[in-house]
Amino acid sequence: MKTGAKKLLDDPRRARVLVVHPQDEDGAALVVHLNQLGCEVRPAIRHSFA
């Protein structure tokens, strides 16, 4: 039987990913790459606590 991590590495399209990264060029590139892998990507909601 495969472990959860092994299943995820074998088929990344099954992954749901929450991206917690600044909304900058690197963050956008990360989301694009994860989408290309077939992952379901959702950005974290930005909150202001000021």
> SS3 string of 25-45?
HHHHHHHHHHHHHCCEEEECC
43 pLDDT more than 80: no
What percent of the chain clears pLDDT 70, i.e. is strictly above it?
Answer: 86
- Nearest of 6, 33, 31 to residue 21 by alpha carbon: 31
Give the pLDDT confidence score for residue 25 in this predicted structure.
92
**33-37: Cβ within 8 A, 24+ apart:** 37/12, 37/13
What is the pTM assigned to this prediction? Answer: 0.63
Token reading at 2: 């495969």
Rounded-to-integer distance, Cα 27 and Cα 22, Å: 6
